[in-house]
Structure 1
Amino acid sequence: MAFSRRQVNILCADCSSMRVQIMGAGALGSLVGALMQLSGFDVIFVARGKQLSALKNRLRVSGLIEAELDVHAVAKPENADITFVTVKAYDTEEAAKKLAEVDPGIVCSLQNGVGNEEILQKYCDKVLGGVTSYAANLADYGHVVYAGEGLTYVGELDGRMSDEAFKVAEALRRAGIKAEAVSDIQFRIWAKAVVNAAINPITALCKVRNGMVVENDNLWKVARSVAEEGRKVMLKMGYDFDAVSEIKRVAEMTAKNRSSMLQDVEKGKRTEIDFINGAIVEKGREMGIDCPVNETLLHLIKGIERG
């Protein structure tokens, strides 16, 4: 069912009447869910393992805000009005299959990497793309650190400005999250992937915080090469993106942060490299563009994963 923009505002006026689901209540998912619950939304946290067990007791938020919440934590998704997908990219298909067993409402990905939305579309009726620069880290199971405020964009993959996109953006804003419905979400997804392709694997391989990517001349030379390859691929796709400047800006803005890929490598966990550098290499191959630096980083990280 489609809603006019005026109806969207009316629907969002009573947050408690809207069920919001977090599919993958890790660091980012827990933060988004906590902010929405604190704003009065009825929130479902879908998690697994030790995180699920911890959430059944309580969710603690520290950092930019301090809060402790009793949350509705479950192992399987339920019916909802909006479902935010925040699982790791390599878990998207499994999550999508589980969502297909219920009515998840509007499904909006807030994941890293390229291709998540297309996977979700195979199983879910209404899927929006999304990107966010909000920073969250898991200090422990059931304890998320709100490390940085950012911007969140949501939109239709075909570029339409839909009522569903406005509805999701408005719900996020009512939770105090800076959000906007946009017509160029595909561009933003690829732009974020190119930025992550430079920062994440370099920090993971060298075990350094984000700022070192620009502070260390040797690392910056590698990052610039990654950026140039990504820029060429995006230009071939019809997107004019100043990758070098944006990577420098993000690395400086998040200088003290430790990338999610670095954290995954340190924990011996699988990374999202296939959906970031791997996606750039694959798209470049389709378009006849060689991406040797991205491919090298891809194989180095996968080498670490295989131990």
Structure 2
Amino acid sequence: MARSEFAIVGAGALGSILAAHLVRSGHSVALLARGQRAQQVREQGLRIKGVSEFSTPVEVLTDPAQLRETGALIIATKTPGSEQTLASLSHVKVDRALSVQNGVMKDDLLAQTYGRERTLGSLADTSGELLASGEVLFTRNVNLFVGELDGTMSDTARAIVKAIDDAGVRATLMPDIVSREWSKFVGWVGFVSLSLTTRAITWRFLSDPDAALLIVRLTRELASLAKALGIQLTEDRAILPLGTVLDGTEAQAVAAVQKAGADYQTKAPEHRMSALQDLQAGRALEIHETLGYALRKAQELNLSLPLLASFYSLVSAIDRTRDR
């Protein structure tokens, strides 16, 4: 196929949201999808409801070999199988590649495939849910942060971010993207760990005092890993107010987590972590590339993260023993 402005890999919630908005805005988009979902999108188009309400057709590819060149390659699959996915796309010529997946391992994989100079960091305070009907419920449109890994503000990255933002998915170019990715990851690990073990919607486990305490302790463990890696965390509120959670007393930190729960109850009362959606749908969990990645990094540094190790073992057991 001819060069597209955007190629989006994965037709789940966020991939569908990005593709639909970019197509509606007039950009050329190739959407790589598989199996039943690919057939569904070909027949019915992308159907979005919630924050935005519209439907649009989109070009669907099922074979990565069909994609040869694109301006921006966006990886929007779940993290399991990421190495194999990128291996199948290593031939593609890209101006820039970014991933909206959870965690921070994604940047390493993209840099290994396309080079660090063509890799953009990214983190999404944007979410949705792929419904059984094939529609996508667009639940949060706060910000998609994107940036060059070396902190520059290149014209190429600026144009990509502007196109996404103008299309209706809020996006911002940031010079400190690595710090922001790690700041989100440090808080996200506690969220996903309690979401999978309690199986509760987001505001409920955040509001529970014992769950909030565990989130605080997990967040502090992950912050010690970031510090050991020389990564400066930002006071980013995309997940939690890190300043209070990391530097305040434990009681103050727990109160901050519970306050986040109250905010979710008011603003997104039905929000479920994507990991919980995967668990309930019988899909593979994104734990080995996220929690497992953090533990592997800690082991390289001879750093002990005992609470994270315990949750990783528990969630791994849940993943292996649940009904699929």
TM over 0.5: yes
Q: Secondary structure at the match of 2:303?
A: coil
> Could you say what secondary structure the match of 1:83 adopts?
strand
> Structure 1 residues 43 and 248, CA, compared in 2 at 3 Å: closer, same or farther?
farther
Q: What are the within-5 Å matches in structure 2 for residues 156-235 of structure 1?
A: 156-235=148-227
The Cα shift of 1:300 comes to: 1.0
Separation in structure 2 between the aligned mates of residue 124 and residue 251 of structure 1, nearest angstrom: 39
* Aligned partner (choices 121, 137, 161) of residue 111 of structure 2: 121
Q: Trace 1:249-264 onto structure 2 (pairs within 5 A).
A: 251-255=261-265, 256=269, 257-264=271-278
- Conserved in 2, the CA contact under 8 Å of 1:51 and 1:141? no
| CA distance in structure 1 between the aligned counterparts of 2:46 and 2:292, rounded to whole angstroms | 34
Number of the residue aligned with 1:13: none
Q: Aligned pair 1:96/2:86, yes or no?
A: yes
TM-score, length of structure 2 as denominator length: 0.83
The one-character-per-residue Cα deviations of 1:241-297 (angstroms, maximum 9, x if unpaired) are 526268666555444211111111112221111232223322333334321111111
Work out whether residues 199 and 247 of structure 1, in 8 Å CA contact, stay in contact via their aligned partners in 2. Answer: no
Residue aligning to 1:66: 53
Within the alignment, does 1:107 sit opposite 2:107 as a pair? no
Partners in 2 of 1:249 and 1:108 — Cα distance? 32
Q: Which amino acid aligns with 2:284?
A: R
Contact 2:78 2:101 in 1 (8 A): yes
Aligned CA distance change for structure 1 residues 96 and 251 (closer, same or farther; 3 Å): farther
- Partner in structure 2 of residue 279 of structure 1: 293
Cα distance in 2, alignment partners of residues 305 and 80 from structure 1 = 36
Q: How does 1:27-38 map to 2 (within 5 A)?
A: 27-38=13-24
The alignment's TM-score, normalised by the length of structure 1, stands at 0.88
Query: Given the superposition, is the C-alpha separation of residues 238 and 119 from structure 1 closer, same or farther in structure 2, using an over 3 Å criterion?
Result: closer
Aligned match of 1:302: 316
Question: Which stretch has the larger CA shift, 260-269 or 241-250?
Answer: 241-250
- The 3 A distance-change label for structure 1 pair 159 and 141 is farther
- Provide the rounded CA distance (Å) in 2 between the counterparts of 1:271 and 1:280: 16
CA contact (8 A) 2:208 2:258 kept: no
Residue 238 of structure 1 and its aligned partner are, at CA, apart by 3.7
User: Where does structure 1 lack aligned partners over 5 or more consecutive residues?
Assistant: 1-16
Does the 8 Å CA contact 1:120/1:127 hold for their aligned counterparts? Answer: yes
SS in 2 for 1:90: coil
Task: Give me the whole-angstrom Cα distance separating, in 1, the residues matched to 2:119 and 2:289.
Answer: 18
Closer/same/farther in 2, CA of residues 253 and 110 from structure 1, 3 Å limit? farther
Q: Following TM superposition, by how much is the alpha carbon of 1:104 offset from its aligned partner in structure 2, in angstroms?
A: 3.6
Q: Tell me the secondary structure at the aligned position of residue 151 of structure 1.
A: strand
**1:200 Cα shift?**
1.1
2:35 matched residue in structure 1: 49
Letter in 2 for 1:239: Q
- What stretches of structure 2 of length at least 5 have no aligned partner? 235-241, 246-252
Matches of 1:59 and 1:271 in 2, distance apart? 25
Q: What fraction of aligned residue pairs are identical, expressed as a percent?
A: 25
Aligned mates of 2:78, 2:260 — CA distance in 1? 21
Alpha-carbon separation, structure 1, partners of 2:62 and 2:205:
38
2: distance between equivalents of 1:107 and 1:240? 24
Residues 110 and 130 in structure 1, CA contact (< 8 A), matched pair in contact too: yes
Deviation (angstroms), 1:24: 1.2
Separation in 2, partners of 1:295, 1:111:
22
Change in CA separation of 1:153 and 1:220 when aligned onto 2, cut-off 3 Å? same
**Residues 51/141 of structure 1: CA separation in 2 closer, same or farther (3 Å cut):** farther
Amino acid of the structure 2 residue aligned with 1:168: I
